Structure 1
Amino acid sequence: MNLQAILELMGDGEYHSGAALGEVLGVSRTAVWKHLQKLESYGLPLESVKGKGYRLPGGLELLDETRIKSGLSADAQAFLSQLDIRQSVESTNLLAMERAASGGHGYVCLAEHQTGGRGRRGRRWSSPFGQSLYLSAVVQFEGGAAALEGLSLAVGVALVRALSALGGQGVGLKWPNDVLFDGRKLAGVLLEMTGDPAGACQVVVGLGLNIKVSEQAAREIDQPWADVGQILPGVSRNQVAVAVINELLPVLGSFEVQGFGAYREEWQAAHVYHHQEVRLSTVSEEIVGRVLGVSATGALRLDVNGQEQEFAGGEVSLRPERQS
Structure 2
Amino acid sequence: MDDNADLTLIRHLADGRFHSGAELGEALGISRAAIWKRVQRLDEWGLAVESVRGKGHRLSRPLDLLDPAALALALDGRASLKFKPVTASTNADALALAAAGQASPVVVTTEFQSAGRGRRGRAWQSPFGANLYVSVLYELAGGFSALGGLSLAAGVAVARALERLAPGLGVGLKWPNDVLVDGAKLGGVLIELAGEMEGGVQVVVGVGLNVAMSDRQAGAIDQSWIDLQRACASPPSRTDLVAAVALELIDMLDRFAVDGFAPFMAPFEALDLCRGRPVTVHAAEGVRPAVARGVGEDGALCVEMDGETRFVHGGEVSLRLQ
* Preserved contact between residue 25 and residue 31 of structure 2 (Cα < 8 Å): yes
Aligned to 1:286: 287
* Preserved contact between residue 103 and residue 202 of structure 1 (Cα < 8 Å): no
The aligned amino acid for 1:209 is L
Aligned to 1:90: 88
Aligned to 1:311: 312
Q: How does 1:156-171 map to 2 (within 5 A)?
A: 156-168=155-167, 169-171=169-171
**SS where residue 263 of structure 1 aligns?**
helix
The aligned amino acid for 1:97 is L
Aligned to 2:50: 47
Structure 1 residue 306, shift from structure 2 partner: 4.0
Structure 1 residue 8, shift from structure 2 partner: 1.7
Structure 1 residue 227, shift from structure 2 partner: 0.8
Structure 1 residue 264, shift from structure 2 partner: 0.7
Aligned to 1:267: 268
Structure 1 residue 88, shift from structure 2 partner: 1.4
The aligned amino acid for 1:188 is G
Spell out, residue by residue over 1:99-139, the C-alpha distance to the aligned partner (whole angstroms, 9 max, x if none).
11133321221111111111101111111111011111211
For structure 1, the 5+ residue unaligned runs are none
Structure 1 residue 305, shift from structure 2 partner: 4.1
1:233 and 1:11 map into 2 onto residues whose CA distance is 21
Aligned to 1:252: 253
Structure 1 residue 234, shift from structure 2 partner: 4.4
Asked whether 1:214 is paired with 2:243, we answer no
Aligned to 1:132: 131
1:64 and 1:287 map into 2 onto residues whose CA distance is 47
Spell out, residue by residue over 1:256-296, the C-alpha distance to the aligned partner (whole angstroms, 9 max, x if none).
21211111111111111221121211122233222211011
Aligned to 2:34: 31
Aligned to 2:242: 241
1:231 and 1:299 map into 2 onto residues whose CA distance is 30
* Preserved contact between residue 147 and residue 256 of structure 1 (Cα < 8 Å): no
Q: How many residues align?
A: 316
Structure 1 residue 24, shift from structure 2 partner: 3.5
* Preserved contact between residue 299 and residue 311 of structure 1 (Cα < 8 Å): yes
* Preserved contact between residue 134 and residue 246 of structure 2 (Cα < 8 Å): no
2:296 and 2:253 map into 1 onto residues whose CA distance is 20
2:120 and 2:304 map into 1 onto residues whose CA distance is 26
After TM superposition, the structure 1 stretch with the greater mean CA deviation from structure 2, 33-42 or 46-55, is 33-42
1:25 and 1:90 map into 2 onto residues whose CA distance is 25
User: What percent identity do the matched residue pairs reach?
Assistant: 42
Spell out, residue by residue over 1:224-276, the C-alpha distance to the aligned partner (whole angstroms, 9 max, x if none).
11111122344211121122112111112231212111111111111112211
Aligned to 2:303: 302
Q: 1:305 to 1:222 in 2, by over 3 A?
A: closer
* Preserved contact between residue 277 and residue 320 of structure 2 (Cα < 8 Å): no
After TM superposition, the structure 1 stretch with the greater mean CA deviation from structure 2, 299-308 or 259-268, is 299-308
- From 85, 89, 100, give the equivalent of 2:98: 100
Spell out, residue by residue over 1:158-181, the C-alpha distance to the aligned partner (whole angstroms, 9 max, x if none).
111111001241111000111111
The aligned amino acid for 1:258 is D
Aligned to 2:9: 6
* Preserved contact between residue 148 and residue 256 of structure 1 (Cα < 8 Å): no
Structure 1 residue 307, shift from structure 2 partner: 2.9
Aligned to 1:21: 24
TM-score, normalising length: structure 1: 0.92
2:320 and 2:222 map into 1 onto residues whose CA distance is 19
Aligned to 1:148: 147
Q: Cα RMSD over matched residues?
A: 1.7
- From 59, 63, 67, give the equivalent of 2:66: 63
Structure 1 residue 27, shift from structure 2 partner: 3.0
* Preserved contact between residue 210 and residue 227 of structure 1 (Cα < 8 Å): yes
For structure 2, the 5+ residue unaligned runs are none
Aligned to 2:182: 182
2:101 and 2:86 map into 1 onto residues whose CA distance is 24
